Structure 1
Amino acid sequence: MDSVEDFRTGFRSWLERELSGGFASLRGKGGPGREHEAFAERLEWERHMAAHGWTCVGWPEEHGGRGASLAQQIAFHEEYALADAPARVNHIGEQLLGPTLIAFGTEEQKARFLEPIRRVEELWCQGYSEPGAGSDLAGVRTRAALSEDGTEWIVDGQKTWTSLAHEAQWCFVIARTEPGSRRHAGLSYLLVPLDQPGVEVRPIVQLTGTSEFNEVFFDGARTAASHVVGAVGDGWRTAMATLGFERGISTVGQQIGFRRELTDLIALAEQNGAIGAPLLRDRLARAWTGLRTMEANARRGVDPSVAKLYWATWHRDLGELAMDIRGAASMLAEGEPYELDAWQRLFLFSRADTIYAGSDEIQRNIIAERLLGLPKEVRA
């Protein structure tokens, strides 16, 4: 296996060579609140990465990956972010579903789904949250039942805040497969194709004016009986494993994006004189030390709920700080009808950071009950 530095140098050189020509214009494209930017071109770029063996680098070699070590994966995400490469379009398949299938999937499922994910031929979305069951997945009401001949699952229900469902071909869905079951019991983790009768995707217009999130309605949608990951009725365990992967090593690249935002904000404060205000200067210093703490936590493998709570709150606060540093100008749109600048988009979209992928309230409950051993929340 290559050393970490050889791995880093090889990927950096590849990015310098390949992120040029027709792909050069993609630098900095995409990201939270900007997923609509150059989507087709970013998809082409990621397929180019796949053709050269630079997708799924942390997967085992037998499943098409490079078997990269933890340190090598950190180097990969750091170099990708430092190159200002475009936001990934296949994050959900590569970083969430793929590792879940490797850990819990059958050999048939691995053979069917892993290679199309690696080649970026099939995109995935995550069917967890529902109206009335957002971060509290134990309240899921979407249901699935086997057809009379036992060959298919028939799915009925609604999911919401489903990132990139309008671009995806498949969705991994948490559904209640045992009638009368409650809370964590009786749930199953199903792989459901979206391009079929009985599935409707409705984009949700966000504060930023874009529509990264969607509602997904299932009305008699079908998937093969074999498309359940893990044991039937034991979907909670599989779903929690996926959340662990979601909050794992891939957040290193995210933090480099945070670092770039903070560096640019400090430059703005120096330019417009806001750096001279003691309170704003103090908040910038706190943001910097908070970022370094976040980076250290990622490397030492802090509990996923602690990490999610920390970075979400930090990023939301950065958006608020950006508005205060910009002052009155932050209230004016760049143009008609609703053209936002980067700082306004950061402020508005980062409000969602404390909600998606597990709200702050739910993360605090998990930390209190599972890490600190405090009494469980009283439920009606």
Structure 2
Amino acid sequence: MSLREEARAFLEESLSGPFAHARGLGGPGREHEGQELRQAWERHLGKHGWTCLAWPERYGGRAASLEDQVAFHEEYARADAPARVGHIGEGLIGPTILEFGTEEQKERFLPPIQRGDELWCQGYSEPDAGSDLANIRTRARLEGGEWVVTGQKVWTSLAHVADWCFVLCRTEEGSQRHRGLSYLLVPMKRPGVEVRPIVQLTGTSEFNEVFFDGARTAAGNMLGAPGDGWRVAMATLGHERGASTLGQQIGFRRELRRVIETAKRTGAAGDPVLRDRLVRSWLELEIMRLNALRMLRSDRPGPEASIAKLYWSEWHRRLGELAQAVQGRAGLVGELDALQRLYLFSRADTIYAGSSEIQRTIIAERTLKLPR
């Protein structure tokens, strides 16, 4: 049996039993849905070996090939399985620990991620350091065998449920920009850490502000050397655009299908301008898949990975606008439905994980080699 067939059988059986009500829960703008059930689902996946597929077997993975990883993510999306609550641990900090961590760090942090026992969040953005990440001001000083962290992070996804946060902070007094930064692993459920939810246009709060006021973490909870944080942080961002993007596109396809069905129901499909926009969306989604497959062939995506982020985020925002257009006036009234939520949340797509302006600059300077 191929891994794709094995995954399909596992998902069909699991989502027909105790987790039947988990189908379709969660996702952008809906992370509040079924939080406890989805955490139980994460542990169920880990118990049966369906998390961290690419990791080495000694750390709980399957050392799965790229083809098998893509197959799993596609089957996961097709099954309408719940949005993962452990994706930041599995997709971002886990691979970074594998690359930069000591053996002691790997043995401490990787197994709980694989089992679904510990959840993570990302402490990068600050009020004055979003797209300009090198402007961060959060600081940490070494005191009595512990790092003491003080500062503020913002737009921190899932911080309210996370057990740990990987924090980019300044550990060298007087340093500026990319120098003097370090990458710390900080426990969230300790004194000195305060999480405040940020209410979004959708009325939900999956993003948060995080305040560190003398929060402490062990001296050994630093990835890489002191002052090497920028390099480690950029490696983490490189892992952000992996095989799961193919699963993301299955979700996009489902959303596009809903928009097309709505256009037929409302009669908007008879409008030649809207019909042209629908066809363009379908064609661009096909291009998105082909480009993602090409990018994934690279052992370590370089700055050209910004093309993929720029492309999907701009496409998804246009899809949200199209969703409103095919609904007509009905899209402006009533209870918040799936297409209205798509429109509202997709406004953020071109900002988080690197704004479109920054992605264009990276493509111009580092891929096309244009002058600064």
1:22 shift after superposition: 2.1
* Whole-angstrom distance in 2 between the partners of 1:363 and 1:121: 34
1:103 shift after superposition: 0.7
> Mapping of 1:204-353 within 5 angstroms?
204-301=198-295, 303-334=304-335, 340-353=336-349
Residues 1:141 and 2:137 aligned together: yes
Aligned mate of 2:89, from 81, 93, 104: 93
Residue equivalent to 2:186: 192
Query: What is the TM-score normalised by the length of structure 2?
Result: 0.97
Residue equivalent to 1:44: 40
Aligned mate of 1:157, from 151, 158, 171: 151
2:243 alignment partner, SS class: coil
Residues 1:7 and 2:3 aligned together: yes
Identity over aligned residues, as a percent?
A: 68
* Whole-angstrom distance in 2 between the partners of 1:247 and 1:299: 11
Contact 1:305/1:363, CA 8 A, preserved across alignment = yes
Deviation track 1:95-141 (CA, whole Å, cap 9, x = no partner) reads: 11100000111111001000000011110000000001002211111
Residues 1:60 and 2:56 aligned together: yes
* Whole-angstrom distance in 1 between the partners of 2:216 and 2:365: 37
* Whole-angstrom distance in 2 between the partners of 1:236 and 1:201: 25
1:21 alignment partner, SS class: coil
Residue equivalent to 2:69: 73
1:333 shift after superposition: 2.5
1:248 shift after superposition: 1.7
1:185 shift after superposition: 1.1
Query: What is the TM-score normalised by the length of structure 1?
Result: 0.95
* Whole-angstrom distance in 1 between the partners of 2:42 and 2:361: 37
After the TM superposition, list the runs of 4 or more consecutive aligned residues in structure 1 that deviate by more than 6 angstroms: none
Deviation track 1:15-62 (CA, whole Å, cap 9, x = no partner) reads: 111111221111111100000000100111111111111111111112
Contact 1:248/1:304, CA 8 A, preserved across alignment = no
Contact 1:77/1:252, CA 8 A, preserved across alignment = yes
Give the alignment's Cα RMSD to 1 decimal: 0.9
Number of aligned residue pairs: 365
Residue equivalent to 2:371: 375
* Whole-angstrom distance in 2 between the partners of 1:301 and 1:59: 20
Contact 1:190/1:229, CA 8 A, preserved across alignment = yes
Residues 1:171 and 2:165 aligned together: yes
Which segments of 5 or more consecutive residues in structure 1 lack a partner in the other structure? Answer: 335-339
Residue equivalent to 1:124: 120
Aligned mate of 1:201, from 195, 199, 204: 195
AA in 2 matched with 1:248: G
1:342 shift after superposition: 0.4
* Whole-angstrom distance in 2 between the partners of 1:293 and 1:304: 15
Deviation track 1:196-233 (CA, whole Å, cap 9, x = no partner) reads: 11110000000000000000000111111111111110
Deviation track 1:220-270 (CA, whole Å, cap 9, x = no partner) reads: 111111111111101111111111111121111111000010011111111
1:353 alignment partner, SS class: coil
1:328 shift after superposition: 0.5
